[in-house]
Structure formats: structure tokens, C-alpha cells
Amino acid sequence: MNPPAIAIDGPAASGKSTVAKLIAKELGYTFINTGAMYRAITWYALRRGANPADAAQICALLPEIPLEFGKDGTCSTVLFEGRVLSAELTSPETNQYVSTIAAIPEVRAYLLRKQREYNKVEPVVMEGRDIGSVVFPDTPFKYFVTASPEERARRRAKQGLTDSITERDKKDASRACAPLTQAPDALLVDTSEMSIEQVVERIITDIRTKLA
Ligand code: CDP
């Protein structure tokens, strides 16, 4: 049996990264940001001059892709030529194409293996879009973190980012392969009127009850 896996899903700018990081810290588990994995593939494909809309071109890059999915302390990282990717992952070009590339089934299958590998050796808090529905369908710890579209737009603007989260959410929710969805057994946490501390508390309480 694998160590515990906490699945945190939700739309863009719902606050799930912040919350997932804090929960991981509190539990002493490793935090895995799967969005960064999709973003890294997108960044690399664009750097190689591939057309994001041409799935065959993107798939051809996968077998030799020089990205390393590792971790730094208790946080997942993506390395390229020994360097941790960071600002590249939230560039306007990456934001623009990540949902297109994340819709390619082969890309998802490739990353699914990497994501599950993390949990073979240690407990994880993993955030994304399909963690409770596809990556860890059997985990009892599933949380769907959301907020009203207005509140999410406000939070995104506060981060200084202006990417079109509505468009990305629409693409993520409507794709055929592993769409953004609330797993039927996930606990819905609407954070529109909640502080970060309240959200963390709500989820940690549920995890501790289930672990006991
Ligand atoms: O930070 P934000 O919530 O805006 O996005 P992210 O978590 O970094 O994810 C970026 C994009 O990667 C999403 O819009 C999805 O297209 C894709 N993604 C996915 O398809 N499945 C995941 N498990 C995580 C991200």
C-alpha cells in the first residue's frame, strides 16, 4: 500500500496552491505542484518551436524530453539542465498554451506516471485538476477547492498576473481526457468567503479525522 496521498483539485486562482503548501507543511508531507509539470512541458515545447496545437509534434518530444521531475526538500521541482525552472513557468506564452498541451492524452499519461512515482516513497499533498478523479482515485483524502469567478479574478490580479483564467478553466473542464472535475467523493470547499487559515483548518480537520 502506498503512503497517504492528499488530492487537492480546483480551478485556476482558487487558492489551492497556497492551501496545499500549508497543509503539506503542517503534516510534514511533500507538496507536489502538478500544474508546474504541465507548464514545464509547455515551456519546453515552445522553446523547441513546436506548435502546441499539433499533438503529434508535442508527442514526438516526450521520449527525449530533458526535464527532471524532482524535489527540493519538501516541494516538487522541475529541472532543466540542472536549473530549477521558475519564472519561465508563468510566462505569458506558457499561460496561453498550457491548457492546449495539457489536453493531449499522451502528455497526461506521461505525467501521470511521474506523479504517481512521488507517492510510492512518501506521503504527498498533490494539487491539480484531476488528482482525485484520475491520479489517486482510491485515496480517501479528496478536496475540491473553489471560489466565485469574481473572487478568483480578484486574487489573480492581486498576484500581478493577467492571464485569462476563465478561458483556461473552460478548456480544462471541457477536454475529453481527465477534465477539471470534482470527484463525486471529494469534499467541496468554497473559499470565496473564507480566509486561508480557515480553509487549511477545514481540510486538516477532515484529514486528521480520516487518519485516526
Ligand atoms: O496556478 P493555476 O491554478 O492557474 O494553474 P496551474 O495549477 O499551474 O495549472 C496550469 C494548467 O495546467 C491548468 O490550467 C491545466 O490546463 C493544466 N493542469 C492540468 O491539466 N492537470 C493538472 N493536474 C494540473 C494542471
pLDDT confidence of 162, banded at 50, 70, 90? low
Cell of 146: 473553489
Taking all residues of the chain, what is their mean pLDDT, rounded to a whole number? 95
35 in contact with ligand 1, CB cutoff 6 A: yes
CA nearest to 53, candidates 88, 93, 97, 92: 97
| Each residue's pLDDT tens digit, 170-188 | 999 999 999 999 999 999 9
pLDDT band at 113 (very low <50, low <70, confident <90, very high): very high
The pLDDT of residue 158: 86
Confirm if 31 and 75 have CB atoms less than 8 A apart.
Answer: yes
Quote the pLDDT of residue 77: 98
* In the predicted structure, residue 119 carries a pLDDT above the cut 80: yes
Give CA 82 to chain center in angstroms: 22
Instruction: Return the ligand 1 atom nearest residue 135 CA.
Output: 23
Lookup result for grid cell 536549473? 83
Beta carbon of 102 within 6 Å of any ligand 1 atom: yes
Confidence band for 141, pLDDT divided at 50, 70 and 90: very high
Q: What percent of the chain has pLDDT over 70?
A: 99
pTM exceeds 0.75, yes or no: yes
What's the average model confidence in pLDDT over 97-112? 98
Q: Ligand 1 pocket test: which of 31, 172, 180, 182 has the largest number of ligand atoms within 8 Å of its C-beta?
A: 172
Say yes or no: CB of residue 39 within 6 Å of ligand 1: yes
CB of 134 closer than 6 angstroms to any ligand 1 atom: no
Average pLDDT over every residue of 194-200: 96
Supply the pLDDT for residue 159: 79
Read off the pLDDT of residues 22-63 as tens digits, 9 standing for 90 and up: 999 999 999 999 999 999 999 999 999 999 999 999 999 999
Q: Per residue, what are the HEC states of the chain? A: CCCCEEEEECCCCCCHHHHHHHHHHHHCCEEEEHHHHHHHHHHHHHHCCCCCCCHHHHHHHHHHCCEEEEEECCEEEEEECCEECCHHHHCHHHHHHHHHHHCCHHHHHHHHHHHHHHHHHCCEEEEECCHHHHHCCCCCCEEEEECCHHHHHHHHHHCCCCCCHHHHHHHHHHCCCCCCCCCCCCEEEECCCCCHHHHHHHHHHHHHHHHC
